[in-house]
Amino acid sequence: MSYGIPSAEPSAQVPVCPRHPDRPSYVSCQRCGRPACPECQRAAAVGFQCVDCVNEAKRTTPAVRTVYGGAVATGTPVVTFGIIALCAVLYVLQWVIPGSAVFRNLAYASVFVAPEYGVFQPWRMVTAAFLHSQGFLLHILLNMYMLWIFGQALEPLLGRIRFLAVYLISAVGGSVGYLLLTPILPEGGPVPVVGASGAIFGLFGAMLVVQRHRRAETKQLWVLIAINGVIGFVVPQIAWQAHLGGLIAGALCAAVIAYAPRGPRQHLVQFAGLAAVLVLLAAVSWYRVITG
């Protein structure tokens, strides 16, 4: 008995990746069912998803936020390390650029925010916090060490944007404290002020408020603030006025963030409060200038 050879079935169409039609793709997305080539596959809890479904999920899934409303940031504290890097670069430039032009253009003195003396450069109230004394290496080392310690603790808690806002407003607060508690134009000419100490003290104040809000231990923090406060009075050429101003500004900012009612409008309340702190600092500065 002989048997005939059956005719071959028509071959099924080879699946291809929608994003790369020239690539056969035998793995399907677990979410949409479309083929996905190795370049477009993303590991999922079960199997793989295509890159389009992964991106869509990111757009539609609410971001995980901290108790203070900031987006949860894991890993490297980017803002903290960015500030440290910027301070380091400017410190090198202070040595490299002839005539210390960086210092002359970015350092703060109260006279720079008093228009009646012919110069009005309020941005120096912030830029001075990124400069440090060239004659005292420990100035930048100690400040950056404190920033590293407190930044790693506060940045994940507050979120990157809120942490940066607290730092910058605290820097302004330090300059305002110096403006309020020293002569605008002392005998002998303007006294330039540089250093991140005001902003660092702002982080001290912010951490104190956050710890109180979380009902955590604050004794060691009080001791640290007291020790650094005393050093400001004992060691010459340290602007304790900037430390005090930064401490108060940082505490105010943290109080705004920590005690804002939770809910969909939490971030609006927080940023309105931070703006109010800035307005308050500006108003106090203006009053100090016009009253001499």
Type of residue numbered 55: N
pLDDT surpassing 70 at residue 9 = no
Q: What is the pLDDT of residue 211?
A: 94
In total, the chain counts a number of residues equal to 292
Whether residues 39 and 109 fall in one domain: no
When pLDDT is averaged across residues 248-256 and rounded to a whole number, the result is 97
Nearest by Cα to 202 from 157, 239, 158, 165: 165
Whether residues 57 and 82 fall in one domain: no
Whether residues 18 and 108 fall in one domain: no
Q: What is the pLDDT of residue 54?
A: 82
CATH code where residue 97 lies? 1.20.1540.10
Q: What is the pLDDT of residue 64?
A: 64
Quote the domain boundaries for residue 31: 14-61
- Residue 187 within a domain: yes
pLDDT digit string, tens, across residues 117-158? 878 899 999 999 999 988 888 899 999 999 999 999 999 999
Handedness of CA 80, 83, 85, 91 (dihedral sign): negative
User: What's the half-sphere exposure (Cβ side, CA atoms, 13 Å) at 89?
Assistant: 6
Whether residues 20 and 84 fall in one domain: no
Q: What is the pLDDT of residue 37?
A: 87
- Residue 73 within a domain: no
Catalytic positions, written as ranges: 197, 243
- Residue 181 within a domain: yes
- Residue 4 within a domain: no
Cβ count within 10 A of residue 82 = 14
pLDDT, mean over the chain: 87
Q: What is the pLDDT of residue 128?
A: 96
Share of the chain above pLDDT 90, in %: 51
- Residue 154 within a domain: yes
Whether residues 91 and 40 fall in one domain: no
Whether residues 43 and 143 fall in one domain: no
Whether residues 218 and 172 fall in one domain: yes
- Residue 3 within a domain: no
Q: Residue 168's pLDDT band (boundaries 50, 70, 90)?
A: very high
Whether residues 53 and 126 fall in one domain: no
pLDDT surpassing 50 at residue 8 = no
Distance of CA 99 to the CA centre of its chain: 31
Q: Report the number of distinct structural domains present in the chain.
A: 2
- Residue 7 within a domain: no
- Residue 72 within a domain: no
Whether residues 135 and 29 fall in one domain: no
Task: Return d(Cα 57, Cα 103) in angstroms, integer.
Answer: 48
Type of residue numbered 93: L
Task: Return d(Cα 110, Cα 122) in angstroms, integer.
Answer: 9
Whether residues 98 and 241 fall in one domain: yes
Whether residues 33 and 168 fall in one domain: no
Whether residues 161 and 253 fall in one domain: yes
Strand-pair partners of 49: 42
pLDDT digit string, tens, across residues 188-208? 778 889 999 999 999 999 999
Task: Return d(Cα 83, Cα 126) in angstroms, integer.
Answer: 12
The torsion angles phi and psi of 128, rounded to 5 degrees, stand at: -60, -25
When pLDDT is averaged across residues 90-105 and rounded to a whole number, the result is 87
